Structure 1
Amino acid sequence: MKIVDVCAFYSPQGGGVRTYVEQKMRIGPMLGHEIVILAPGDEDAVIERRPGARIVTIKSPRFPLDRKYGYFAEAERLYAALDAEAPDFVEATSPWRSAGLVANWPGAAPRSLVMHADPLSAYAYRWLGNIFSRRTIDRQFSIFWEHLRRHSRKFDHVVCANRDLSRRLDEGGVRHTVTIPMGVEAGCFSPALRDRSLRARLLADCGLPESAALLLAVGRLAPEKRWPMVIDAVGLASQQSPIGLVMLGEGREQRTILRHIAGNPHVRLFAPERDRAAFARIMASADALVHGCEAETFCMTAAEARASGLPVVVPDAGGAADHASGGAGRTYAAADCNAAAAAILEVVRERPRPAVQARSMDEHFRELFAAYALCREGGRRAA
Structure 2
Amino acid sequence: MRVVDVAEFYSPTGGGVRTYIDRKFEAAAQLGHELFVIAPGPEDGFEPRASGGLIQVRAPRLPFDANYHMFWEAGPVHRWLDSLSPDLVEASSPWRGAWIVANWSAPVARAMFMHADPVAIYPQRWLASVASPERIDQLFDWFWNYLRKLTGRFASVVTGGHWLGRRFEHHGLEAVTSIPLGVDRGSFSPRLRDERLRSELLEACSCPNDAKLALAVGRFHPEKRWPMVIEATTRARADVPIGLVVVGDGIDRARVRRAAAGKVHVHLIPPIRDRGLLAAHLASADVLVHGCDSETFGLLPAEAMASGLPLVGPDRGGFADLAQPSTSEVYRSGDTQAAAAAIRRLFSRDPGALKAAAIEAAAGVRRDTDHFADLFEHYQRVADRGRSVEPRPAARRPPAGASV
Amino acid at match of 1:369: F
Instruction: Tell me the distance in 2 between the aligned counterparts of 1:135 and 1:344.
Output: 28
Q: In structure 2, what is the equivalent of residue 366 of structure 1?
A: 373
SS in 2 for 1:94: coil
Q: In structure 1, what is the equivalent of residue 399 of structure 2?
A: none
- 1:301 CA displacement: 0.9
Amino acid at match of 1:60: A
> How many equivalent residue pairs?
382
Q: In structure 1, what is the equivalent of residue 13 of structure 2?
A: 13
Amino acid at match of 1:146: N
Moved over 3 A (4+): none
TM-score w.r.t. length of structure 2: 0.91
**Which deviates the most, 199-208 or 95-104?**
95-104
SS in 2 for 1:320: helix
Residues 268-306 of structure 1 deviation map (CA, whole Å, 9 limit, x = unaligned): 110111111111111100001001110111221101000
Work out the percentage of aligned pairs sharing the same amino acid.
45
Q: In structure 2, what is the equivalent of residue 246 of structure 1?
A: 245
Q: In structure 1, what is the equivalent of residue 132 of structure 2?
A: 133
Unaligned 5+ segments in structure 1 are none
CA contact (8 A) 2:163 2:296 kept: no
Residues 99-131 of structure 1 deviation map (CA, whole Å, 9 limit, x = unaligned): 222122222221111111211111010011221
SS in 1 for 2:101: helix
Residues 154-193 of structure 1 deviation map (CA, whole Å, 9 limit, x = unaligned): 2122111222211111011111111111111230000011
Q: In structure 2, what is the equivalent of residue 29 of structure 1?
A: 29
- 1:381 CA displacement: 7.2
Q: In structure 2, what is the equivalent of residue 260 of structure 1?
A: 259
* Residues 132/104 of structure 1: CA separation in 2 closer, same or farther (3 Å cut): same
Amino acid at match of 1:265: V
Q: In structure 2, what is the equivalent of residue 178 of structure 1?
A: 177
Within 5 Å, which residues of 2 pair with 1:148-167?
148-167=147-166
Residues 47-72 of structure 1 deviation map (CA, whole Å, 9 limit, x = unaligned): x2123221001111111121221111
Within 5 Å, which residues of 2 pair with 1:222-301?
222-301=221-300
CA contact (8 A) 2:215 2:288 kept: yes
SS in 1 for 2:99: helix
C-alpha RMSD of matched pairs (Å) = 1.4
SS in 1 for 2:3: strand
Instruction: Tell me the distance in 1 between the aligned counterparts of 2:269 and 2:212.
Output: 18
Instruction: Tell me the distance in 1 between the aligned counterparts of 2:135 and 2:14.
Output: 35
TM-score w.r.t. length of structure 1: 0.96
CA contact (8 A) 1:41 1:57 kept: yes
CA contact (8 A) 1:287 1:348 kept: no
SS in 1 for 2:122: helix
Q: In structure 1, what is the equivalent of residue 120 of structure 2?
A: 121
- 1:133 CA displacement: 2.8
Amino acid at match of 1:359: R
Instruction: Tell me the distance in 1 between the aligned counterparts of 2:300 and 2:244.
Output: 15
Amino acid at match of 1:95: P
CA contact (8 A) 1:186 1:362 kept: no
